[in-house]
Structure 1
Amino acid sequence: MIDLIIIELTDFDTQVWNKHPKLRFNSLTSDDSGEKIGSSKAYYNGLEFTKEPKGKVKIKGSIHKYYNNGLHNGDRFTFDDFEKAVSQLSEFGVVPEKAILRGFEIGLNLDTSKSKINTKTFLDSILYCGGIERSDMEINGKLGYGSKFKTANVTYKFYDKMEQACLQSEMLRIETKFTKMRAVENYGITCLSDLLDRTKLANLISDKYLKFIDKTIFFEWNQIKTTRKLPTKYKSKFKDLRNPDWWIKDQRNNTNRQRNKKLLEDLIKTYAKRDIKNILKGMILLEISAFARTKKCYEYTEFEPLKKWNCLDENAQKDVTNTPRIVRCDNHDQREGKEKKKYCLTCGKEITGQKSDSKYCNDQRKCRDKAYNLKVSEKRQAKRSQKEKEIINLIKDLGNEFNLIRTTNPNRKKIKGVPSRKTSIIATIGGKKRYYHGADARFFLNEFDKKTKTEVLTQCPYDTRLEHAQ
């Protein structure tokens, strides 16, 4: 769980490092005087040991990699392992109570090879993270394998650990990096020994790591490609909610964000084939339980705040060890014989009990008729749009060659009880006549007026048609 650490040692005798056989310090020297310039540094098993000219001594690097003899940090790193790694630092004169923290990381490696979803899908589904602008991470000189969300004191990261550490299996890394220690000062964490305090560490993980997962929205575009199945009142809103730029373009207050976040996640749970966030939280919870469990016992009472995350109840416990487990990660029940839930395509009402081929609820045919009318309206609109394009191209090509006579006022409003006069146009082109009536004719006149404002139009008797002058 703990990975990168940056510590500054106080009351430290540098002779311990100078005489240590595993440390070989290098520094820049002046060509003229031969004096050392800048800091002296040594490297051992993933850690960087620094002696600064002003007397400060620091250690920076991955304590996880140090525990693995400098090979990698792509496996599970439990709290017991962290305690052993800190104790091993004593050979370099590190006293945890005198090692001041200047920065550190907490994170988990999630083995996605055992999941139904690969690492790339998880990374591509990140839509929103606490109103923070997203930026790509560069991993091994390449982009597209991770994202980070940077604030003044903390940086949140999601990236492909297999690509970064050159591992053999799929691995997703989610971590929180504390770049400023004021981010953790309320938890009483100032030195390395405080990270060995189970209570302090549990509260920190719960508030600064797990809550940030809760604040993040994961949305798979392919799961809800269109708004066809969504209730009508949510269709327009949904187009904004699935846009990552929409969440950060305005300075929205927290209440507004939470309300919209809850709406989107409810729509995902109801209409998407799977809830990727629910799957991810299940994987995190299993990894958290493995991190906190000790070899002495299966109950990890010291990490009580972590047990309460994700609202686990007694039904999600193993009978013997009482170790939390995930009953099912996916949002939908996949057991045989379980009828899959169906919803009305218009209003969203559940229609699971209706016929197998039902698409709409049996509410006096309102939803079915509404859907039919919508389809008819869309077809009419498509046909009208095609006709309007034809008219625009006709006017554009022939332009002032027309000599039109107005029969009715196209902007005249229809009066109830008074029969309206029908506008008609006959355009003769190349010896062939084209007819336009009603709305098409009025659209023709409007567009023609825009094109030829200087034309003189004269009023004709009732029901006279306009004809193109050849």
Structure 2
Amino acid sequence: MGFDCRLWENRPELKFQVLKECDSNIALGSKRAYFNGLSFVIEPKGIARVKGSIHRFFNNGSHNADRFTFENFTIAVNDLLAFGINPETAILRSFEIGLNLDTTTCKIDNKTFLESILYCKGAKRSDMEIHEKLGYGYVFKTTNAKYKFYDKSIQSDIQNAELLRIETKFTRMRAVENYGLRTLSDLLDKEKLSKLIVDKYLKPIDETIFFEWEQIKTTRKIPTKYKSKFKDLRNPDWWIKDERSRIDRHRNKLLLEKLVTLYAKRNIKNILKDLISLELQAFTRNKNCYEYTEFESLNNWNKSDNAKKSVTNAQRIVGCDLHDQREGKKKKKYCLICGKEITGQKTDSKYCNDQRKCRDKAYNLKVSETRKKKKSDKEKEIIKLIEKIGDKLSLTRTTNPNRKKTKGVKTRKTSIIVTINGKRKYYHGSQARFFLNEFDKKTDKPNKHPKPE
């Protein structure tokens, strides 16, 4: 806000280009300049944007495949001040957090890690295209974020190395609005950043379901009561079925992890979490001390009691982001009729399930409103008809609308036939009586209708 774009235009390292029309030489679209891995954009309305990798910017635009610590991030943000980018006023529109994991120490290749992912946040797996080839990475796209797992060494053309990249990209800022993240300076706040990494990066990894097929090729060792179930649990499509609830998914996740622990030679998810823990320790280090004490929550996330909530000791439920609601606490819902809380019912529930009373009452109200609307529309039509035809209208053969009902005697229904341009229109019952009353008001001849023969 209030940024002077001339500051960028006057810097010699920023060489802006813009697409122009051949005949008139009129600029079409935004001005763009590329420098050290960042794209500086000036839109026609004067709005300035910066896109790209701040990790690559820190490495002078060469690559972003090495370790990027919090101290490196702080230095890179300070370097942006030279371009007039103030962290306090630079508003975030989207950003990503991720780690480059060296998998050579565990002797498991990246492809094995990638192929072992069965389920992530309820999203269907999509292939990432790296150098116009598929099979080196996968994306799980949800409403507000993308979860990426891919081979960083292939993407960065690094020889004789195994780097696995695990990344979370927040495509909409409403995904992190509960963490007070709005500007670039908010990412420098260690408390906010720690909470964000634990909740939005590490927790989804903890909830992601991994299964290494080669470790349990057959069901021979599996107990008979689990054999049939195990065939479902190792199928990726089975996990993302719409009818599967969070609790059911979590229960089956625990069963699969139990079977892996008992009958597989290794647990690939635990190995991956150990690699992440080591990289997090490196992320928190600086030149003066081994690690920041402010990031203690990151260093402790992989301990045995970390997967439990501090209050209830209930294990984390497997998450699913296939919704268009804002992430955070689940909003309470109440019955539209009696006001009873129905948060635990189905997503589309509007009424409580107590003996169907509220749903029946809501249905009756809906029917009543429909009838009222229909009656009102018909009455408007009658008034318009009377005003249009006026004194030319004559009524014949109608019952007396003022006739009193006698108990036990069947009352004949009032009916009216109106002929307009050779076409007949019929009005019966309450509509006919309304017609008669309005016609009397129009002609000032109350109760002068001919008696039925």
Fold similarity call, TM over 0.5: yes
Residue 252 in structure 1 maps to residue 244 in structure 2: yes
Residue 40 in structure 1 maps to residue 36 in structure 2: no
3-state SS, counterpart of residue 309 of structure 1: coil
3-state SS, counterpart of residue 93 of structure 2: strand
Q: 1:117 corresponds to which letter in structure 2? A: I
* Counterpart pick for 1:302 among 263, 283, 294: 294
In structure 2, how many angstroms separate the alpha carbons of the residues matched to 1:68 and 1:130? 33
* Counterpart pick for 1:174 among 166, 179, 186: 166
Residue by residue over 1:96-118, the C-alpha shift from the partner in whole angstroms, topping out at 9 and shown as x without a partner, is 00100011110000011222211
| TM-score relative to the length of structure 2 | 0.66
Residue 262 in structure 1 maps to residue 242 in structure 2: no
Partner of 1:59 in structure 2? 50
Residue by residue over 1:339-360, the C-alpha shift from the partner in whole angstroms, topping out at 9 and shown as x without a partner, is xxxxxxxxxxxxxxxxxxxxxx
* Counterpart pick for 1:124 among 105, 112, 115: 115
Partner of 1:395 in structure 2? none
Shift in Å at residue 297 of structure 1? 2.0
Partner of 2:368 in structure 1? none
Residue 210 in structure 1 maps to residue 202 in structure 2: yes
Given that 1:128 and 1:244 are in contact with CA atoms closer than 8 Å, whether structure 2 keeps it comes out as: yes
Residue by residue over 1:329-375, the C-alpha shift from the partner in whole angstroms, topping out at 9 and shown as x without a partner, is xxxxxxxxxxxxxxxxxxxxxxxxxxxxxxxxxxxxxxxxxxxxxxx
Shift in Å at residue 127 of structure 1? 1.1
Q: 1:209 corresponds to which letter in structure 2? A: Y
Instruction: Point out where structure 2 has 5 or more consecutive residues left out of the alignment.
Output: 306-453
Residue 136 in structure 1 maps to residue 124 in structure 2: no
Residue 148 in structure 1 maps to residue 139 in structure 2: yes
The correspondence of residues 50-89 of structure 1 with structure 2, limited to 5 A, is: 50-89=41-80
In structure 1, how many angstroms separate the alpha carbons of the residues matched to 2:121 and 2:5? 44
Given that 1:125 and 1:220 are in contact with CA atoms closer than 8 Å, whether structure 2 keeps it comes out as: yes
Partner of 1:103 in structure 2? 94
The correspondence of residues 1-400 of structure 1 with structure 2, limited to 5 A, is: 10-168=1-159, 169-311=161-303
Given that 2:121 and 2:142 are in contact with CA atoms closer than 8 Å, whether structure 1 keeps it comes out as: no
Q: Which runs of 4+ in 1 moved over 4 A?
A: none
Given that 1:42 and 1:50 are in contact with CA atoms closer than 8 Å, whether structure 2 keeps it comes out as: yes
Shift in Å at residue 33 of structure 1? 1.9
In structure 2, how many angstroms separate the alpha carbons of the residues matched to 1:237 and 1:51? 57
Residue by residue over 1:151-205, the C-alpha shift from the partner in whole angstroms, topping out at 9 and shown as x without a partner, is 0100000000011111121110000000000001000000100000000000000
In structure 2, how many angstroms separate the alpha carbons of the residues matched to 1:245 and 1:275? 21
Q: 1:229 corresponds to which letter in structure 2? A: K
Shift in Å at residue 28 of structure 1? 1.0
In structure 1, how many angstroms separate the alpha carbons of the residues matched to 2:247 and 2:105? 37
In structure 1, how many angstroms separate the alpha carbons of the residues matched to 2:121 and 2:81? 40
Q: 1:251 corresponds to which letter in structure 2? A: E
Shift in Å at residue 250 of structure 1? 3.1
Q: 1:186 corresponds to which letter in structure 2? A: N
In structure 2, how many angstroms separate the alpha carbons of the residues matched to 1:140 and 1:178? 24
Given that 2:284 and 2:291 are in contact with CA atoms closer than 8 Å, whether structure 1 keeps it comes out as: no
The correspondence of residues 400-411 of structure 1 with structure 2, limited to 5 A, is: none
Q: 1:151 corresponds to which letter in structure 2? A: T
Q: 1:183 corresponds to which letter in structure 2? A: A
Given that 2:103 and 2:164 are in contact with CA atoms closer than 8 Å, whether structure 1 keeps it comes out as: yes
Q: 1:220 corresponds to which letter in structure 2? A: E
Given that 1:102 and 1:180 are in contact with CA atoms closer than 8 Å, whether structure 2 keeps it comes out as: yes
The root-mean-square deviation of aligned C-alpha atoms, in Å, is 1.1
The correspondence of residues 409-428 of structure 1 with structure 2, limited to 5 A, is: none
Shift in Å at residue 308 of structure 1? 2.6
In structure 2, how many angstroms separate the alpha carbons of the residues matched to 1:280 and 1:289? 15
Shift in CA distance, 161/271, structure 1 to aligned 2, threshold 3 Å: same
Instruction: Point out where structure 1 has 5 or more consecutive residues left out of the alignment.
Output: 1-9, 314-470
In structure 1, how many angstroms separate the alpha carbons of the residues matched to 2:173 and 2:70? 21
Q: 2:105 corresponds to which letter in structure 1? A: K
| TM-score relative to the length of structure 1 | 0.64
In structure 1, how many angstroms separate the alpha carbons of the residues matched to 2:80 and 2:21? 33
Q: 2:134 corresponds to which letter in structure 1? A: L
3-state SS, counterpart of residue 222 of structure 1: helix
3-state SS, counterpart of residue 142 of structure 1: coil
Q: 2:43 corresponds to which letter in structure 1? A: E
Shift in Å at residue 21 of structure 1? 1.0
3-state SS, counterpart of residue 37 of structure 1: strand
The correspondence of residues 430-441 of structure 1 with structure 2, limited to 5 A, is: none
In structure 1, how many angstroms separate the alpha carbons of the residues matched to 2:243 and 2:278? 36
In structure 1, how many angstroms separate the alpha carbons of the residues matched to 2:176 and 2:2? 24
Task: Tell me the matched-pair count.
Answer: 304
Given that 2:120 and 2:207 are in contact with CA atoms closer than 8 Å, whether structure 1 keeps it comes out as: yes
Given that 1:11 and 1:98 are in contact with CA atoms closer than 8 Å, whether structure 2 keeps it comes out as: no
Shift in Å at residue 223 of structure 1? 0.5
Shift in Å at residue 312 of structure 1? 6.0
Residue by residue over 1:110-130, the C-alpha shift from the partner in whole angstroms, topping out at 9 and shown as x without a partner, is 011222211111011111113
